[in-house]
A = this chain, B = another copy of it.
Amino acid sequence: MATQFTPHPDRLLPADPTTREVARRLYDEVASLPIISPHGHVNPLLLLDNEPFGDPAELLITPDHYVTRMLFSGAGIDGDAVGRTKNGTPSDAEPREIWRRLAENWFRYHGTPVRYWMEHELAELFDVTETLGADNADAIYDQVSARLADDAFRPRALFDRFKIEVMATTDDPADDLAAHKALADDGSFSGRVLPTWRADRFTDPSGARWLPALDDLENAVDGADCRTYEGLLAAMRASRQHFIEHGATATDSGLPDAGSTPLEPAEAERIHAAGLNGTVTEAEAIAYRHNMLYRFAEMSVEDGLVMQLHPGVIRNHHRASFKAYGADVGCDFPDVASFTKPLEPLLNAFGTHPNLHLVLFTVDETVFSREVGPLAGFYPAVYAGVPWWFIDTPQAILRFRDAVTDSAGYYKGSGFIDDTRAFLSIPARHDMARRCDAHHLAQRVATHQITEDDATQVIKDLTTTIPTATFKL
């Protein structure tokens, strides 16, 4: 029998009654503030085209590796069974069947943020009042489907309903940003959607993605010559200007590590040529990448783009899944992170420059109190990125606040980022972060480490001025 379920208004707030009262007041101050989303992976075409969303499975399951990975790990339900194209062959899984698989396995998500977010979405957006399960899977599927046909559920209507003040996407340097331009030029859409310059594939001259990247950038930038290192840098600078003209305020880099030792131009040029010839060694490729991270900081000092860095993820660990389904299907895993030593060259050169904002993200919590807090507490350029990906969870957010605030305070943190490709989950994610910040601050108020007035100012700033200032929005 299905169980009635409504998200509790005090969810995620502390259990102790006195502390909860404080937390509720703090949360209420920010609960309905607009959403600032400076880092995410929503496709701008979603808003440009403004087509109705597809079926519930396509919307909430198939593209979301946070969701599908646990169907795989817990019940062995493979990618094609959740609707993914496998080796070029589209899945023939029925959306309703995919939905049923999730419903049957919904117990496996107890205690996870995935379940938390989706319950929030089902309740708040689709007025679902029962816990999802095998017995009501079809009814809930039908209820969600019916709503999706409504114009109020088109992307732009939801963008307004979600009160998204600004949303950044993630884009390739060779992207012409036509979608962003069209959105900005569209008088019927007043939302602010900004591109973010992400040049990872340009950093590894030993990788399969490097040569195509050079080709694409040459095609994208007038007069570009990416056959030389200097030419590539020039084309990158031009591309960044193009991004800035289309509203970009930030770049993003996801690299194996944070090494940032610069190369002499001649040496970089030599390795670039070796990359073109296919003779680059592993050591050379790493040196090239470290130099490139240094150059990105140099460019940010020149053009003012905020620099986001999230090193230390091992990508596509399970090669069979990568071959069958491509990247971003759940088999990326955190590695040991390190910032203090690898960033020494970059921070010595640029760490006190007022133009540089360097936001450090990690999926390895051990650096919170050991590196991220202390670096953000000394270098004017460094900001402590909030927990992200695997650790964008209530408990990890509380651990982050407790570990980083000691040495960096609240005002050298990044403010929340949702980092999501799941458009519908954006309000749930920001709401979760606000609740956790209220929880954290209420604990500090209740133990008399900060006054409630000051905590109120802090939580407002965490939701508004802090992300705005960090990301130069």
B-binding residues in A (CB < 8 A): 3, 5, 7-8, 10-19, 69-70, 72-74, 76, 107-113, 116, 131, 314, 317-320, 330-331, 333-336, 338, 340-341, 344, 347-348, 351-352, 354, 363-366, 369-371, 373-380, 382, 390-391, 393-396, 401-403, 405-412, 443-444, 446-451, 453-454, 457-458
Contacts and interface: CB of A to CB of B under 8 A. Distances in A.
Nearest to A364: B370
A73 B454 contact: no
Contacts of A402: 395
A145 to B, nearest CB: 26
Contacts of A454: 107, 110, 131
A361 to B, nearest CB: 14
B334 A370 contact: yes
| Most chain B CB neighbours (cut-off 10 Å) among A111, A318, A375 | A111
A154 B407 CA distance: 31
Given A73-B378, A351-B318, A13 B333 contact: no
A38 to B, nearest CB: 20
A369 B396 contact: yes
A7 B448 contact: yes
Contacts of A375: 333
A73 B379 contact: yes
Nearest to A458: B110
B319 A12 contact: no
Count copies of this chain in the complex.
Answer: 3
Contacts of A354: 76
A334 B371 contact: yes
Given A16-B15, A111-B444, A408-B73, A331 B378 contact: yes
A196 B446 CA distance: 40
Contact of A448 (B10, B109, B379, B401): B10
A406 B390 contact: yes
A419 B198 CA distance: 44
Given A16-B16, A19-B15, A364-B370, A406 B111 contact: yes
A43 to B, nearest CB: 24
Given A15-B443, A348-B320, A370-B363, A110 B410 contact: yes
A431 to B, nearest CB: 13
A5 B450 CA distance: 10
A320 to B, nearest CB: 7
A221 to B, nearest CB: 35
Contacts of A131: 451, 454
Nearest to A343: B317
B335 A340 contact: yes
B318 A110 contact: no
B70 A377 contact: yes
Nearest to A75: B380
B405 A391 contact: no
A241 B331 CA distance: 34
A76 B340 contact: no
A448 B8 contact: yes
19 contacts: A11-B447, A13-B447, A14-B447, A17-B18, A76-B352, A110-B454, A111-B401, A111-B409, A317-B348, A318-B378, A331-B378, A334-B340, A334-B374, A364-B366, A390-B407, A393-B406, A394-B449, A395-B403, A396-B403
B335 A319 contact: no
Contacts of A352: 72, 76, 318, 320
Nearest to A368: B365
A70 B409 contact: yes
Which of A13, A73, A320, A390 gathers most chain B CB within 10 Å? A73
A331 B377 CA distance: 9
Contacts of A13: 447
Contacts of A363: 370
A449 B116 CA distance: 7
- In the A-B complex, list the 7 residue pairs whose CB atoms are closest, starting with the nearest: A8-B448, A11-B448, A15-B446, A111-B405, A393-B406, A395-B402, A334-B370
Contacts of A76: 352, 354, 380
